[in-house]
Amino acid sequence: MKRTELKSLLDEAYDRHARPDFTADDPIQIPRAFTERADAEVIGFLTATIAWGQRRTIIANAWKLVQLMDEAPHDFVMHASPAELRRVEGFVHRTFNSIDLKHFVKGLRHVYTTYGGLEDAFLDEGHPGPMDQAIHRFKQRFFEPRHQARTEKHVADPLKGSNAKRLNMFLRWMVRPNDRGVDLGFWTRITPADLMVPLDVHTGRVGRELGLLKRTQDDWKAVEELTAALRQFDPLDPVKYDIALFGMGVGGR
């Protein structure tokens, strides 16, 4: 397929799938339910963290998190007392349990009080730099408070080869503009051009079928290869095509 034809295919798929009804079956509906940036980014980060498995279960458990946090995620993170934190006991999503959730609350509180916020924790002197470095930086800062080692597996590190799918998805939610009723556009110091594709089974399969991705492993090198290919079609916002590839993979073309 010629490059111009491929761009037309991707643009058409983006236009078809990047619409408000995309959120009906997608975990992004949870952060989109909040108008305050701090609430949206806290619950968005937690939702992205548990975003593996069946989407229906992910969404149900993310709404359960909203209820456990009194429908005020940022306030709960910043002010929950030890007694209030105990209310999350019993929460579980696959291997992410209430022990991990308590550490995540403490980690979030730490990045707000120490670094000024979630977006800030990815930055070095106000800039993200290469996204693998930015995610690694965030993970180091997030886990500065005392925690159990088991919890670290729930935050990916691209410098160890992980494709960091859930963190890249969270970053897409926060950074891409809220112009199509899908992403949120709350963050401005990380730009759409900085983003990397959230590589999952659907985007990877369609990317390979279209010749955009040749690497067979779904690791960080594959993320770099697919994102570089998509930058040829839109260097300022390559990850908009994540919605196109995902939609083509789940719903057919």
SS3 at position 251: helix
**SS3 track for 34-96:** CCCHHHHHHHHHHHHHCCCCCHHHHHHHHHHHHHHCCCCHHHHHHHCCHHHHHHHCCCEECCE
Residue 75 backbone zone (phi > 0: left; psi -120 to 50: alpha; other: beta): alpha
pLDDT for residue 252: 57
How far apart, in whole angstroms, are the C-alpha atoms of residue 106 and residue 114? Answer: 12
Burial, 152: exposed, middle or buried (Cβ in 10 Å; 0-12, 13-18, 19+)? middle
Residue 126 backbone zone (phi > 0: left; psi -120 to 50: alpha; other: beta): left
CA quadruple 98, 219, 136, 48: dihedral sign: negative
DSSP state of 143: T
The CB density around residue 52, as the number of other CB atoms within 10 Å, is 16
pLDDT for residue 2: 87
Taking the domains of the chain in order of start, what are their residue ranges? Answer: 3-251
pTM of the model: 0.96
pLDDT for residue 253: 54
Q: Which residues pair with 97 in a beta bridge?
A: 92
Burial, 56: exposed, middle or buried (Cβ in 10 Å; 0-12, 13-18, 19+)? exposed
Q: How far is CA 6 from the centre of its chain?
A: 26
pLDDT per residue, tens digit, the chain (253 aa), is 788 999 999 999 999 999 999 999 999 999 999 999 999 999 999 999 999 999 999 999 999 999 999 999 999 999 999 999 999 999 999 999 999 999 999 999 999 999 999 999 999 999 999 999 999 999 999 999 999 999 999 999 999 999 999 999 999 999 999 999 999 999 999 999 999 999 999 999 999 999 999 999 999 999 999 999 999 999 999 999 999 999 997 765 5
